[in-house]
Structures are given as structure tokens and as C-alpha cells.
Chain A
């Protein structure tokens, strides 16, 4: 560090630094530019006083205005919640069919249902609603244990299946393994397989050895043709959809010691509007059945 002096040629001050005898001229920025810099510092000080800024370990200084990003976020969230509540009130007041027919409310219900589905339903039924063979029913095929109309889907979601609540869906299937021999159960499984119209044995189903047992024990719930019954939650045995597998030994296992699904009553966990949104979303996934008159005309 040498002495700060004036360079005789340029008339400028030097920085006092020397490198190999070369002295560096001091060329400060113009005053106005320096003032901008000082103003920036002043701004920083004001900012630090007014707003949270100086880090103190795991928190920062509070700031005189009391503003924090968290409070601001909470205020925004409260606004969104209020908006949601208003929307929810509208949905809660309307019939499911009215919501589904409304061009804007149906979109609202679909999107709301999608997010509620992602939180509450995909754990069992899968992200795409495809279910899991042997575990949870598919929501996107055209086969429904308890019915696929809007109201029926809504009831299933609201009250659940085989839980402790009073209005829950409850299906009963005796464990025939306790009363029948293995042979009898195997014959029964052959009848069940032949119920499908595509089966080669379909024509002679009433002549099969297991038919007497089927007629005696199974028709009450599943019907003579095996079409099932939505009111009892009895599955259709004549179609290609099998919740617990459609192979002969899988059917035998199900007759002998049946497994049956359980689902919570979501009406106890979610609000009315959300249940309606879920019903509309599930209905629109691809398997939803039409209204009464359409179903009637189809049959």
C-alpha cells in the first residue's frame, strides 16, 4: 500500500496500490451513481425495520408491520375456503341429477370429486379407479355390486359397506365349506362357470350335478340366471367380471369361505358436498349407469 497521490499526467488520484511500479488510478463512480447506492442501502434498512428479514437462528426479526408470508398465505387460504363453502352449500342443496345436468356445476363437482378421490379412495380403488382383483372392486367397469346409478353410488360412499354404522350396506354370504362336501362345492362352481352365456356348457346348466344345490341355496340372492341383485349386494355370476377371480379354484374358494369387502362410511368423515362430488366423479369414470327409465328400457 503506497501513498495516495495525484498522478501528474491525468490529474487523477491514485488508489495507492502499486504493481511492478505501475500505479492504479482511482476512478470513482459518479456522485449520482453513488447516491443511488446509498439510497439502496437506506431502502434495505427501511425494509429490514418494516418486514421480517434478519435471521436469528431458527426465526427472523418480526418487522414493524407484522407482515409474514405465512399470515398472507393463511388469509388467502381463508378466502379460498370461504369460496369453497359457498360452492359446497350450493351443491349440498341440489339433487345429484341436477348437479350432473348443470354445465358448470358438473365440472366443479368432477374436479372437486377428483381431488377428494385422490385423498380418500385411491388407497384401495387405485388412482384410475381400477380396483384390485381379489381385494377391491373396479369403479370403471359396467358391473356394480350395489348399483351404478348416481344415487346408489352416493349411498355406497355415504354409508359404506359392512361397517359399524346403522345404514351401511351389508351383504351376507354363508360359508358353504361348513355344510357341503368338497365335491358338492366343486359341482356348484361348475354351475357358476356355466352361467355365463359365452360358456360352452351354458345350454345344459340345469342338467348339471350341482344345479340342485344352486337352485336351493343360491337363487335367492343371485337369481336363477345368476344375474345378481343390487339390493342385496349379490354379484352377477353370469358376466365376465370377477372381484375375487373367475378361475374354477378361485370360485370354489369363494363358495367355501367367502371374502367380503369392507368400506368406511365416508358420510362420517366428509361433508355433504364432497360426497356428492365424489358420487358424480365416480359415476363419470366410465361405468356409471343411467337413470331409472333408461335402466328400465334396457331390461
Chain B
């Protein structure tokens, strides 16, 4: 009852004019960053991170929710129109959406993607609201050894879900190495400072995040040929759609089936709960399932609307799922929630059961903001701004990236007031650029930065409490449960990965034949 009252009061907070303004600002930033190839909603939140320092936390979280939901959705806009997924999560949308565009049905495809995203996002947010009390009850049962085993589970799963696991281990190790610089969490000893007093307090989270994600991206974008980029996007500039073109016929929605929407939303939500899995996997798994159960699987790869809808519904439902482990246990479900966790940490808020019990008033508006962001996708995208979304790629690329370059480097200064940390961000950016070029995944890096220090703290505390006896991880039921879960995932996930890779290869072969 208490929680329902707090959710209701959270609704009132989000409906205040200033909060709504932040939500809309976040929403449109998300649309722009999600729609432009190379930019992601994660990068948008990275750049917003230093600005949130001076904002009330509730507004910062509301804005982040707007960015998160719209950023995942808007990846579909360029995926459909110019066959370049604005966000990695829109890869499957691209497979089905662009063939529709070629048939002159691009606006209708965007309409279907919008409806799917709105339904998926809303179901995901509702499940988050109703499932988090259960997650809270479970989280309260986890003690220190269990917390260590849970983090270990998360770190191992993050590595397993990546295709290049060895590289994921290196990426994760690099994140942990950087997070261990500074004072030891349990003793007053400074580590890896090499006599530099600037490093005694460690490397700031904002420095790490901006360096790894924003600055490295600026180097990568410098290699993109501007003329070629303009040519690629000119196709979208020449498209003219009327508002009514965005409304898909009811007959088609009936053909897709209510079950496809629901099933994809639940799949996306559950994949979101899994640490490290993310929107791309949610979209992919739902797409494969839609193909498996479709009455016309032969249409897939040539403009199957049910495939497009399944992918878009799932990747937006993932948003709600990814927030469950982040809020209840402090373990982010994907890269974006890892940075949202960073926003919470900036305010000194420690996620976990206590957050949901004692500070529900802070979190409730965030839940509602996620739900409202999903809800406003329909009126804003279908009725108002749909035709204008296509013009986002017209934004002058030089101005945009130069602006991002200034915001990124000043963001580090704004967060730390330290020129030294700006230099550290640059060095991290250079390293991550080379890692990215060699296809080292970056999600394990960010999760390691956040979970690494906690992992060390819980490991050492558990062993101190048990006088150095490692059996403490087996004799505690909660810890044993996560260890068994880790073993199960280590055995099962690679099999599932192999199956999905085989399906992907098969699909690529079919596409080649076409």
C-alpha cells in the first residue's frame, strides 16, 4: 500500500511543469542521439552526467529516463530510412525496415516501430513497477558473501554474452585496473598512484565514462569521410512523408497479432534483467522467435512487419528490465543503466534494497518517467514530429561533433575541477579507441568500473568475517544459489549463443541469395 502511495506521489512529481520539461528535453536529446549513426543514448547520458551535478537528483533521473526510452526507439528511424541503425539495438529493425522503405512503405514501417516501442516500453515500465517489490524482498535476503557471488555472476555473464570473450576479459580487466587506482577500500593505503598526489583519490567515474565513451568516439568519428556521410544521409533528406502515412492500418496490426507484442515485450524485459545482455540481444532473440512462430517465415529479410515489430517491442521493453537489477542489487543490466547508476553514485545514493525501502520517493518519479516516456512516443512521434524525425540527419555533422567535443572535455572539468583528470580522460579515450578498433567490447569495461570496487570490497569483507575461510561462499545459501546460477549460465549461455549465431549465419545466407 505504501509503495502504491509513493508511486502515485511520484506521478505527481513527474507531472509538475519543470519535471515534464526535463523529461521532454531528455526525450528529444534521446531522439537526436539515437537517430544519428555513431551517437547513442548511452553517449547522451554520458554527456549529461556532469550537468546533473547541479540538478536535483529527481530531475536528473527523469531526464535520463527520457533519453533512455527515446534513444532506444529512435535507432529505428535511420535503420528504416537509410539502412544504418542509429543504435546497435536497431540492427534487426534495419533488416526488415529498409526493404519496406524500398517498397515505399518507410513511413508505415516507422509507424509500426513506434507502436511496438510504445507497447514494449510501457509493458517493461509496468513490470518494473510491479516486480521491483518482489526483487526487493529477494535482495534483502542477500548478505555479504551472497553479494560477492552475485557480482561475480554478473561479471561472468557479461563476459559470456559477448561474442569475443577473451577480448571481453581484457576489457573488463582494464576497467577494474582503473577502478583500483587510489585509496584501498578497506585500509588507508594508496595503490597504483606512482607517487602522483592527483591520483590519491582515484580516477573519477565521470573521467572514466567520458574518456571511454565520448572521447574515444570522437577519434572514431574523425575517420568518417564527411562527404560520404552527407551522401549517405542525403537519401533521408529527400524523403517526404505526410503525417497520415505514419499510421499503420489496423488490419496489419491484427495480422501481427496481440501475442507477438506481449511475447516480445516479456522477452525483452527478461533479457533486460540479465546483466550485460542489453537491447541488441533483446531485439535479436525476439526477432528469431517471431520468425520461428510466423505464418510467413519466408517474408523475413524482405520486409516482414512482424519481425520489425518483435525487435522494436523487445528492445524498448528491455529498458524496464535493465533497471530491476540496477535498483534492487546495484548491478546494471546494460551499459546505459551502468551510467545511470553513475548518476546515482554522483549523488551519493547507493543502489540496493535500502534504496527501494528508504528512498522510494526519489525512485518513484523515475519509474513514472519511464512509463510516460513510453506513452508519449505515440502522440509525439505519430501525430506531431514523425515527418521531422527524418530531417535529424540534416543536422550539420561538423557542428554537432565539435560541440560534443567541447561538452565532453568541459564535462570532465565541471565534474572534477581538475585539469589533471581532463588529461586522464584523454589518455583513456586514446586507449579505448584502439580497443574499439580491435573490436574489444566496451560494456564489460563500464560494468567492471562500477562493479569492480564492490566485488573487491565484498570479497575481502566476507573472508575477513569468516577468518579467511573461503567455504563461506558455499555454506551461505544465498551465495551458493548465485554460484550454482553462474555454473548453469556458463554451461547454457554458450549453447544459446551458438544457436543464435547459426541462425544469424543462415539469415545472412538467405539475404545474400536475395
Report if A and B associate in a common complex: no
